[in-house]
Copies of this chain bind each other. A is one copy, B any other.
């Protein structure tokens, strides 16, 4: 569905226009002692944002364009205005909040993340990069810093794939990784299209207007929790992302023959669910079978039709998610799953249709921009570690329009997408300190 030919970030440093030479110099743009980041305020704001949830607390469920999502976004908007930013929202609901620099003709430095949350999630995924960016801007203002380039906080709409099955809808459209027509073809679980759903949420302008041209931003930085155990195990405060693993999402429809659970004898069955059980185990085996720790495969959604205690299932729909930092290896797993599915279908006399919903390439973070982050961590006196991101982020698509890099903070037990997701307030604050320094270096 998406264009596999993502532009390489490398060429920008080749032509010298984005090597960030000034931003990478040894001296900080703002003295570290003047950057006061308040860990308690960040924590309080994250906790308040978590009260906008459709799940029993502490679980957080904030699905795109629900009233709860709207209320959470309104709270975030109030925080953005509180630090003096000018807001605009695009036609898919992504919020842009600008701190105008001395030279508004220069492309701004952007940072941000998302505040939508999958069912039964925690309070850090995405929110740390939004609330943290607000705190970074507050700290810079308080330090008396005056940016030359504008600084913009972006709150992306629909980073999570919960509603339409496709993650990063906002950044895909913004960066051109997905066309408006492709977006319009998407349907949610109840059959509602993107156009209908966004109109109900209050956006009725043309989806085409969401697209931003290459060069709109000088750079994009995303602060995020690691969602993995590496930094915690190493005891290091800051991760600098080298590359984002390549996610692929496949929808499978398994069609068998239903019947009475008592009357339909075992040899006569073409049970869609037992065939699906084999397929689920093949996804697991395929991911384990590459021999690399970097390959993961997951079936997260299953629906069984007709869903009667005493009826043999005639149709099952399930989602398959396969990721790897190596796109070729990931595609090998997808091919293996396809072969396995064909074997199951033939052996069991069922039909298995696999539809590739998204298959993105892994993305390397901009090396010179990573060096800016490295220098910024040094400004804050924090040690760093290079590591891949196995989760995807809007930073997977932003390289299409500007140099992009990511900062990770540790994540207890590597646990994410769960209510017990946790990063200590001081660890979040460390990430915000690095972000503040980097924004200052880039916008100075």
Seen from chain A, the residues whose Cβ lies within 8 Å of a Cβ on chain B are 118-121, 125, 160-162, 165, 167, 226-229, 245, 247, 249, 257-268, 271, 273-274, 276-278, 280-281, 284, 287-288, 293, 295-302, 304-314, 319, 321, 323, 389-392, 411, 414-418
Give chain B residues whose Cβ lies under 8 Å from the Cβ of A276: 277
Per the bound structure, the CA–CA distance linking A323 and B278 in Å amounts to 23
Q: A309-B300, A310-B298 are in contact. Are A262 and B391 (CB under 8 A)?
A: yes
B300 and A302 within 8 A (CB): no
A391 and B160 within 8 A (CB): no
Give chain B residues whose Cβ lies under 8 Å from the Cβ of A305: 120
B261 and A417 within 8 A (CB): yes
Give the 6 A-B residue pairs with the shortest CB-CB distance, closest first.
A227-B263, A262-B391, A120-B306, A261-B298, A277-B277, A118-B308
Per the bound structure, the CA–CA distance linking A249 and B262 in Å amounts to 12
A–B Cβ pairs within 8 angstroms, 5 of them:
A118-B308, A226-B263, A228-B263, A261-B300, A263-B416
B262 and A247 within 8 A (CB): yes
Residue of B nearest to A302 (CB): B304
B302 and A118 within 8 A (CB): no
Tell me how far the C-beta of A385 lies from the nearest C-beta in chain B, rounded to whole angstroms: 16
B417 and A308 within 8 A (CB): yes
B321 and A259 within 8 A (CB): no
A414 and B268 within 8 A (CB): yes
Q: A265-B296, A391-B260 are in contact. Are A314 and B418 (CB under 8 A)?
A: yes
In this complex, which of A245, A265, A284, A306 has the most chain B Cβ atoms within 10 angstroms of its Cβ? A306
Residue of B nearest to A288 (CB): B266
Give chain B residues whose Cβ lies under 8 Å from the Cβ of A280: 273-274, 277
Q: A262-B247, A284-B271, A305-B120 are in contact. Are A167 and B310 (CB under 8 A)?
A: yes
Per the bound structure, the CA–CA distance linking A229 and B309 in Å amounts to 21
A281 and B284 within 8 A (CB): no
A300 and B296 within 8 A (CB): no
Give chain B residues whose Cβ lies under 8 Å from the Cβ of A284: 266, 271, 274
Residue of B nearest to A391 (CB): B262
B321 and A298 within 8 A (CB): no
Q: A161-B309, A273-B299, A309-B319 are in contact. Are A414 and B264 (CB under 8 A)?
A: yes
Give chain B residues whose Cβ lies under 8 Å from the Cβ of A277: 276-278, 280-281
